[in-house]
Amino acid sequence: MTTHGISLNVEPDLSHYRGIVACGLRDYGVTSLADLGLPVTMLDADAALRQAFESEFGPVQSAPPPDLGLRTERDLSP
């Protein structure tokens, strides 16, 4: 863990990162799970991150996720 949190790029537009030097590491770029050939949804990433976190730190309390106005695969189904 870092003192400023964690960043997990699932499938962003990476062009927005061109002017950013992530974590001050100039010799390394920014990538995403999609660009690494891992086509996962935000729900998949959330479940995997929670499982990994809980295996290290123990169970966490469940809370409803915030409504961020994001569309899900279910919203896009006919």
Enzyme catalytic residues: 23
Q: How far apart are CA 37 and CA 32, in angstroms?
A: 9
d(CA 38, CA 4): 25
Phi, psi for residue 49 in degrees, rounded to 5: -65, -40
